[in-house]
Structure 1
Amino acid sequence: MTLARPDTTVNAREAFGLDTDLVVPAFREADEHVPDIDADYRFNPDVTRALLAGFTRNRRVLVQGLHGTGKSTHIEQVAARLNWPCLRVNLDGHISRLDLVGRDAVVVREGQQVTEFQEGVVPWALQRPVALVLDEYDAGRPDVMFVLQRLLERDGKLTLTDQNRVLTPHPYFRMFATANTVGLGNLNGLYHGAQRLNHAQIDRWNIVAALNYLPADEEIAIVLARLPQLRSEAGRDLVSSMVAVADLTRQAFRVGDLSTLMSPRTVISWAENVEVFGNTALAFRLSFLNKCDEAERPLIAECFQRCFDQELDESGQLGTAA
């Protein structure tokens, strides 16, 4: 078992721009499990406070929000600035209890085949100063999720029934999760595969933080940071119009006029595709419009027209290339 511990501290005001004097434990050196720092990443203050509480006070933190809001990336970027090892596990419908806990496997020792227990990802992380991030938490099968039930309790431990062992978490093991819903299932039809989770388990998460889309100015800044070639007056105007289109789709989604919305991830893809195809309208069609229901495309085209003051015809071209 790894006995490493944080050996330094990070000032939350300096590292994350928070209005607080909070000092967070951290590591001086990064290992191979520490995410790379994205210098252009924009932190949501409330979510950052919640995550820092997770790292500092060993609180179990669930980050909930619509797709493309950067839930997992937010956790990774906090961990990156703390040099805290971080391991992400995607809880798709094929993840089984054996994947999480471990299983017996046949291995060759000194020329002989022997059966030995191979640890799953949860026991491995549990014994180390690792931030375990359970992605798509609401897509995990409910029966599998019960493996995590006791771990979510204060001073929770993990029982390996096949080994007759009880594992005590490393003092600096941390647990986080991301989800599109809060365990209530696919209520709006947007997230197929989302499960209704046991409320007793949801109740065990100490903190549930909601991560929404960024204000327009910050979203524009992120796109420009990703695409330095657009850092001009014309480029900023283009990106500003793109973000305005995205915001209109989100407003229409909230009131039920659209079943699909543009995430910041899609806006970045659109901007990148403008560079590839040299045409704003064609890039828009290939990046977003073709993902949408045909019956909703006229409304989406209207959103485009309102922001770019040009019609989007059936060919996906503008009257004048933008």
Structure 2
Amino acid sequence: MAHPVTHPTTPDRPDLRLAVKDVFGIDSPLVVPAFSERTEYVPETDDAYRFNPDVTLALLAGFLRDRRVLVQGLHGTGKSTHVEQVAARLNWPCVRVNLDGHLGRPDLIGKDAVVLREGRQVTEFQEGILPWALQRPVALILDEYDAGRPDVMFVLQRVLERDGKLTLMDQNKVISPHPYFRLFATANTVGLGNLNGLYHGAQRLNHAQIDRWNIVTSLDYLPAEEEAAIVRARVPSLADERGAELIASMVAVAALTRTGFQAGDVSTLMSPRTVITWAENLEIFGDLALAFRVSFLNRCDEAERAVVAEYFQRCFDRELDVSYALTAEPAQSAP
């Protein structure tokens, strides 16, 4: 749903109070601050998004009481999107930063850069995303928090303190956070490293830093009915009765892969994002089995594809050829 971008006179602090029960449909007496106007940094509202009540309340506590909130969960559960969609309904400016291996301390803090001033080249300090956000009413989301480099992570240590001040040593300056600056993070693990081999690049985090997060919450996959509703909303061509039955079976396949992953039968599982991709590819190819192969099966270990094919057969009552090549047969219509 598109919303207009407002002029620069947007309030520097929240000017509304919203009842959680009215906005999110959660039975809670909480009343949270919000902005009456939107800026270009406010995420677009996704009407199809489904909120997890416990995670939503944890995030709202972050917005209300300036709690540092870490959201942990498997891939595709919608961790970052959850924070964004809460911010969208509060009209709260929100910025995401991915802590990949290429993001360094200068990107976070800032660095000297040569700029052109009145026709002359001069060197001046350009602040990074952290001091920029810290001085504004912005919700900063640190994505892939458990993949951050150690030198970057220790920069964040001081910001996670109660007063959250940041020292810019190059500038001999101490920045105090804006009263409505908020900090969130998402991670696939809880700082214990890549225990199951699923998330290569995840780091073991300093426990003194993990201890600085006021709230740690976990986001799991949605119930099957809600997951199916999201897929139907994303792929309207499958929103009729026949399509709904098809999507229900697709979600059932995904659930079997998750159960199989927990039991150690397969090393790859289907996230809700993968189910949506499967439905979208079904629109393109018009062949349910082909769409499944290119969306999920081809990423699985060859030794496990027979198990995944069994999941497919149990849900659709048809065999899946695991040795299929993309050019082996023409696309067929979905059953």
TM range (shorter): over 0.9
Identity %: 74
- Give, in angstroms, the shift of residue 14 of structure 1: 1.4
- Give distance in 2, aligned partners of 1:125 and 1:226: 32
- Give the conservation status (yes or no) of the 8 Å contact 1:3–1:128: no
- Give distance in 2, aligned partners of 1:54 and 1:264: 26
**Which secondary structure does the structure 2 equivalent of 1:237 belong to?**
helix
Residue among 68, 80, 86 paired with 1:60:
68
Letter in 2 for 1:132: L
- Flag the 1:17–1:126 CA change in 2: closer, same or farther, 3 A: same
Please give the TM-score of this superposition, normalised by the length of structure 2. 0.94
- Flag the 1:45–1:55 CA change in 2: closer, same or farther, 3 A: same
Q: Which residue of 2 aligns with 1:308?
A: 316
Residue 50 of structure 1 pairs with residue 58 of structure 2: yes
Q: Which residue of 1 aligns with 2:187?
A: 179
- Give distance in 2, aligned partners of 1:219 and 1:142: 36
**Which secondary structure does the structure 2 equivalent of 1:149 belong to?**
helix
Equivalent residues in 2 for 1:220-239 (5 A)? Answer: 220-239=228-247
Please give the TM-score of this superposition, normalised by the length of structure 1. 0.97
Q: Which residue of 2 aligns with 1:134?
A: 142
Q: Which residue of 2 aligns with 1:147?
A: 155
Could you tell me which runs of 5 or more consecutive residues in structure 2 were left unpaired when the two chains were aligned. Answer: 1-9
Residue 294 of structure 1 pairs with residue 295 of structure 2: no
Could you tell me which runs of 5 or more consecutive residues in structure 1 were left unpaired when the two chains were aligned. Answer: none
Q: Which residue of 2 aligns with 1:32?
A: 40
- Flag the 1:281–1:157 CA change in 2: closer, same or farther, 3 A: same
- Give, in angstroms, the shift of residue 124 of structure 1: 0.2
Deviant stretches of 4+, over 2 Å? 314-322
**Which secondary structure does the structure 2 equivalent of 1:249 belong to?**
helix
Equivalent residues in 2 for 1:212-291 (5 A)? Answer: 212-291=220-299
Equivalent residues in 2 for 1:60-209 (5 A)? Answer: 60-209=68-217
- Give the conservation status (yes or no) of the 8 Å contact 1:99–1:121: yes
CA RMSD of aligned residues (A): 1.4
- Give the conservation status (yes or no) of the 8 Å contact 2:13–2:35: yes
Superposed CA offset, 1:7-33 (max 9, x none): 111211111111012111000000000
- Flag the 1:109–1:66 CA change in 2: closer, same or farther, 3 A: same
Letter in 1 for 2:212: R
